Amino acid sequence: MEIRAAHAEDEPPIEAIVARAFGEEPDGPVVHMIRALNESGATQISLVADDDGIVGHVQLSTAWIDARPRLVDALTLTPLSVVPERQRQGIGTRLLEEALTAADERGAAAVLLEGDPDYYSRHGFTSAVSLNVLRPSLRIPEPGFQIARLSSYEDWMTGYVIYPDALWKTDMVGLRDPRLASIENALRINANLPYAADRE
Ligand SMILES: CC(C)(COP(=O)(O)OP(=O)(O)OC[C@H]1O[C@@H](n2cnc3c(N)ncnc32)[C@H](O)[C@@H]1OP(=O)(O)O)[C@@H](O)C(=O)NCCC(=O)NCCS
């Protein structure tokens, strides 16, 4: 199996495996997000796991940390997908490793993502808020907002994260109720969203 940069002709198979990994219709919200990131020019890195056909994919797009001296170039990692029948074989791990290497080579200071801390903490990510790198929406459960620091990262690179327009236009930032409320209740966190629990 090879991890390689995606080519234009890979787009249909990428969309197909992403939809399957996320359990969505072929033309579902995550596929719409990918298209919007690509069409807006936000996509910076798109890698595929190729094993006589595409079995996994990862995409990284423009983002910034709004630090006091200047905007810091970073990347946001979304989505990460492995076809269901090839999950738990280390493909996600390899895609993440190659994604961080590629991001570092591009000079990004950090990679940010929203995801399960149990999974990503094993792959170089840590809580972003612990470094004073702040989520761009209160609808991102705080423990799920994570950062991987790359070689050009420095301690002063703190502040709010700015996401590319495509993520807002496709409404793919964070979660919405009732799923948000149920995850917050599970995490017992107070996200300053009044009545969140009532909307369950
Ligand atoms: C998340 C995902 C990319 C992981 O890919 P993978 O190739 O299965 O991952 P790896 O084989 O490298 O690692 C597997 C390990 O991670 C853990 N793991 C896998 N998916 C996980 C998840 N969604 N949450 C938490 N842990 C997960 C498993 O416990 C597994 O360890 P184990 O086999 O010892 O129990 C894949 O499961 C997937 O495509 N899921 C659907 C889409 C998705 O949720 N993407 C992430 C959005 S943030």
> With a 6 A CB cut-off, is 123 part of the ligand 1 pocket?
no
pLDDT at 190 over 70: no
Query: pLDDT digit string (tens) for 151-183?
Result: 999 999 999 999 999 999 999 999 999 999 999
CA distance 111 to 170: 21
Report all structural domains of the chain as residue ranges with CATH numbers, in order of start: 2-169 (3.40.630.30)
Average pLDDT on 146-154 reads 98
CA distance 14 to 23: 14
Q: Atom 44 in ligand 1: which residue has the minimum CA distance?
A: 22
Pick the atom of ligand 1 nearest to 79's CA.
Answer: 47
If you measure from the C-alpha of residue 9 to the centroid of ligand 1, how many angstroms do you get, rounded to a whole number? 26
If you measure from the C-alpha of residue 84 to the centroid of ligand 1, how many angstroms do you get, rounded to a whole number? 10
Q: Please, which residues bridge with residue 5 across strands?
A: 47
> With a 6 A CB cut-off, is 77 part of the ligand 1 pocket?
no
Q: How large a percentage of the chain has pLDDT more than 70? A: 94
